[in-house]
Amino acid sequence: MSPLRAIYLGLAIVGALLPMYHIGLWVWGNGPAPKLLFAAWQANSATTGLMWDLVISAIALSVWILAETYVRRNWMALVAIPATFLIGVSCGLPLYLYFRSRPIE
């Protein structure tokens, strides 16, 4: 594995663990209440702006993944789409870059 691929994989792992840790802390304190979590994302203009920034980034990343997968036929890279929406862009983007940077055969 090249150093660049190792960095992408490391960032994907950290990008999964850090957000999930903080979401886990929130769930531990508030219980599994999606309505409360969504309300927290809209608690003020700063959090609402950040939420929309991440939603739009996730959609743009997904469109890019779909377009490039169609051309490159790197079907494994599609795993980055559910990672993006279930974990976050901080996991999905470096995960996709990890899959995209594999040596071409």
Maximum Cα interatomic distance, the chain, rounded to a whole number of Å? 49
d(C-alpha 45, C-alpha 88), whole Å: 20
Average pLDDT of every residue of the chain: 93
Looking at residue 102, what is its pLDDT? 86
Angle (nearest 5°) at CA 76 between 74 and 79? 130
Q: Take residue 99 and report the two structure tokens written for it.
A: 């899959």
Q: Taking a C-beta distance cutoff of 8 angstroms, is the pair 83, 16 a contact?
A: yes
Global pTM value: 0.88
Name the residue among 73, 74, 78, 96 with its Cα closest to residue 9. Answer: 96
**Using 50, 70 and 90 to split pLDDT, how confident is the model at 38?**
confident
